[in-house]
Structure 1
Amino acid sequence: MLIVMSGLPGAGKSSIARELGRLLPAPVLSVDPVEAAMWRAGVDRGQPTGLAAYVVVEALAADVLALGQTVVVDAVNDAEEAREQWAALARRLGVALRYIEVICPDRALHRRRLEARQRDIAGFAEPTWASVEARRANFDSWREDRLVLDSTAPLTGNVQVALAHLGDAR
């Protein structure tokens, strides 16, 4: 199964993705560390490294799925084209696809989380609140079925809801 996480930076999707990966168990492939690795390798930040990171994660996900294993993709996935990329991969490999969107409807809490987080991704600057708000304004509407989780709810409850949702797909 291909599980695709979606949501704005700081909304809480990575926390849920990590727990899903631990409990299923399944590898969690995140776009941000891949992009940061490109920069550390000398790829110019002016290049489309964000798009390239999605393509690299897709290739890795394809390899994991070809082994018959579940994989969790952790990325913003705010563009319809990004979500179609995962749908095409699932179709090509004949695997189930499940989208999970994580939202934080409390903007003050979302901002506090974003500004307080410290991920250990060498060379990757955390996004600003202004950049998150800009992404929110341009987040493509969904056509695909998805589970929406509110990250103001406890992590354990959200993970249990996600596992139940994913269990229905198996």
Structure 2
Amino acid sequence: MLVAMAGLPGAGKSAVAAALGRELRAPVLAVDAAEAAMWRSGIDATQRDGVGLAAYAVVHTAAAAALDAGHTVVVDAVNAVAPARDAWRGLAREHGVALRWIEVVCSDPMLHRARLEERGSRYAELAEPTWSQVQARVVEPWDDDRLVLDSVRPLAELLPEALRHVTGRHAGR
């Protein structure tokens, strides 16, 4: 199975992805981690515009290899636009696996902003977006069935819901 996370930076999707990955014993492949590794490897700053897209491609390739090996994969990415979502749909189709979408939102703008500003830089090489950059992000409309989780609720409540969505079972089983 391919589980594709979606949501704005700071909304809480990485926390849900990590917990879900632990529960499913599945690798969590994060686009931000791939992008940070690319910067760490010495990608030239003049190539900044293409690095984010390239990071999606790196995670796509790693996910394909894991799916080939028979593993469930959790992808941690913003997935705000149709081309990103199309790539995961195509990957699931190519590998004959189910695709489960989970979108994480934070309905409290003050909490969302505080989380974004308090989390600091998770990767030294990757600048975290500002609150104004997050607010300016365009999230294209969805056509896919997806579970929408509001991260104002505690992770302990969100995880069982996410697990039911992807497997039909409860956490801890």
If the TM-score is normalised by the length of the shorter chain, which range does it land in?
A: over 0.9
Q: How many residues align?
A: 167
2:19 equivalent in structure 1: 19
Q: Following TM superposition, by how much is the alpha carbon of 1:36 offset from its aligned partner in structure 2, in angstroms? A: 1.2
1:129 equivalent in structure 2: 131
Q: CA 1:70/1:51 → structure 2, altered by over 3 Å: closer, same or farther?
A: same
Match of 1:46, SS state, is helix
Q: Following TM superposition, by how much is the alpha carbon of 1:44 offset from its aligned partner in structure 2, in angstroms? A: 2.1
Q: CA 1:30/1:93 → structure 2, altered by over 3 Å: closer, same or farther?
A: same
Q: How do 1:10-159 and structure 2 match up within 5 A?
A: 10-47=10-47, 48-135=50-137, 138-159=138-159
Match of 2:59, SS state, is helix
Whether the 8 Å CA contact 2:82–2:140 is kept in 1: the answer is yes
Separation in 2 of the partners of 1:146 and 1:95?
Answer: 16
Match of 1:98, SS state, is strand
Whether the 8 Å CA contact 2:107–2:152 is kept in 1: the answer is yes
Q: Which amino acid aligns with 2:76?
A: D
TM-score (norm 1): 0.95
Q: Following TM superposition, by how much is the alpha carbon of 1:8 offset from its aligned partner in structure 2, in angstroms? A: 0.2
Moved over 6 A (4+): none
Whether the 8 Å CA contact 2:17–2:28 is kept in 1: the answer is yes
Q: Which stretches in structure 1 are left out of the alignment for 5+ residues?
A: none
Superposition RMSD in Å: 1.2
Q: Deviations over 1:63-98 (max 9, x none)?
A: 001111100000000011100100000001101100
Q: Which amino acid aligns with 2:53?
A: L
Aligned identity (percent) is: 57
Q: Deviations over 1:99-154 (max 9, x none)?
A: 0000001001100000000343121111100100011xx11010111100000011
Match of 1:152, SS state, is coil
